[in-house]
Amino acid sequence: MYIERGGGLSCPGRIGRVRYSKTGRTLYYGGISLQSLNGRGYKTTHFDVETGEKYWVSGPRRDGNDTLYPGVVEIDDDVREEYWRDVRGLPENARLRSFRAPGKHHR
């Protein structure tokens, strides 16, 4: 999944593996629990259950244009090869731990 804290206004995004709760309403990533905002967020889809901090979470895009605004996307080591091979179709980039994305709202 693509995970971006704060809705992309100033924080880098990450590509990482998440776990879903049985109901699918909560995602678990890196020690945090993210609960769905059920479409009520502005440029955010989830919030941290413990802190209330907002996040944008979506599936990774084949074109790499995951961020809302131009920015760096970091890739967790445990998914890096799979991401470059299966999602992006660029296995030769498997050594890259990050890339610069133009963002959905670029001009």
> Would you list the domain boundaries of the chain?
2-101
Question: What pLDDT does 44 receive?
Answer: 78
63-106 per-position pLDDT tens digit: 988 887 888 999 999 999 999 999 999 999 999 999 998 877 65
The answer for residues whose C-beta is within 8 angstroms of residue 42's C-beta and 6 or more apart is 7
Residue 3: Cβ within 10 Å count:
26
Q: How far apart are CA 72 and CA 9, in angstroms?
A: 12
C-alpha dihedral sign at 81, 4, 58, 17: positive
